[in-house]
């Protein structure tokens, strides 16, 4: 597949068109951002680590019957994906309280959430990704009821698969964000799954092993991402 011009460049990834109108190339860069792009740094190896991490997770999800846009790895920092029409809604599942939930509701960090919570946010940096709901998404035309229902079901199925996978590596999947799109009308998991978009804690010590290390200036960000990957069997060599 031939790589063509940049279609879109986000905070951590660039998206390229190809000679196939149904396929795109994602490039994972070393750029790391937080707080809606207000904190940005380059972290060596991050592009490679997240590309391989994401490929590993997407393959596991595919095996579990989740439709994903992932096709194959292309290089250390690139993969080939289906071209989706993205739904501008972020789906967040939480198994333990942390981050935005604690800030919004004033609850302490680390409470077990049973059943896990499901939240929707509008993907819009300028507005700070505001929380929305099904009614708003439907009325403003961001997604249909049926699409939201399917995205909800798939997001919870992902939770079943990944909670187990990380637990086998002695880690707790605290929360995560997924984005979906449409491929010829079929709802399909897009974007990426990496420690940039989820929270993972060591199951014994509850040490943070995800992007909170960057957000909170704890250091050892990429070392933590690599440790998470090694524990679940991702190959970074
Ligand atoms: P919170 O609402 O607590 O800030 O985020 C919940 C989960 O979704 C966290 O794992 C966080 O990393 C992820 N998340 C929410 N919004 C974004 C986003 O815009 N970008 C990324 N990379 N992750 C997000």
pLDDT in tens, 144-170: 999 999 999 999 999 999 999 999 999
Decide: 176 and 194 in contact? Cβ < 8 Å. no
**By CB neighbour count within 10 A (0-12 exposed, 13-18 middle, 19+ buried), where does 179 fall?**
buried
pLDDT in tens, 102-134: 999 999 999 999 999 999 999 999 999 999 999
For the CA of 12, the nearest atom of ligand 1:
22
What top-level class would CATH report for the domain 85-220?
alpha beta
For the CA of 99, the nearest atom of ligand 1:
3
Alpha-carbon distances of 179 from 45, 88, 163, 220, rounded to whole Å? 24, 8, 18, 27
Alpha carbon distance 167, 231 (integer Å): 10
**Sequence spans of domains, the chain:** 3-82, 85-220
Ligand 1 pocket, residue 116 CB under 6 Å: no
Closest protein CA for atom 2 of ligand 1: 100
**CB atoms closer than 10 angstroms to residue 71:** 17
For position 113, what pLDDT does the model report? Answer: 98
Architecture of domain 3-82: 2-Layer Sandwich (3.30)
Ligand 1 pocket, residue 196 CB under 6 Å: yes
Alpha carbon distance 27, 11 (integer Å): 11
pLDDT in tens, 43-102: 999 999 999 999 999 999 999 999 999 999 999 999 999 999 999 999 999 999 999 999
């Amino acid at each position: 597949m031939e790589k063509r011009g940049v279609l879109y460049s986000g905070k951590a990834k660039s998206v390229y068109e190809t000679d196939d109108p149904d396929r795109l190339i994602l490039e994972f860069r070393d750029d790391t951002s937080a707080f809606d792009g207000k904190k940005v740094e380059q972290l060596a190896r991050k592009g490679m680590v997240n590309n391989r991490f994401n490929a590993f997770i997407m393959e596991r999800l595919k095996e579990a019957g989740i439709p994903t846009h992932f096709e194959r790895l292309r290089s250390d920092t690139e993969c080939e994906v289906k071209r989706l029409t993205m739904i501008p809604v972020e789906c967040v599942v939480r198994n333990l309280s942390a981050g935005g939930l604690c800030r919004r509701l004033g609850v302490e960090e680390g409470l077990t959430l049973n059943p896990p919570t499901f939240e929707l946010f509008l993907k819009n940096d300028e507005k700070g990704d505001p929380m929305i709901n099904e009614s708003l998404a439907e009325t403003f035309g961001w997604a249909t009821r049926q699409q939201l229902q399917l995205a909800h079901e798939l997001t919870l199925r992902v939770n079943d698969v990944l909670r187990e996978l990380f637990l086998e590596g002695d880690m707790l999947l605290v929360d995560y964000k997924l984005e979906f799109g449409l491929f010829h009308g079929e709802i399909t998991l897009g974007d990426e799954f990496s420690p940039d978009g989820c929270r993972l804690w060591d199951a014994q010590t509850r040490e943070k092993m995800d992007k909170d290390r960057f957000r909170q200036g704890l250091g050892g960000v990429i070392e933590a991402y690599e440790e998470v990957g090694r524990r679940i069997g991702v190959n970074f060599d």
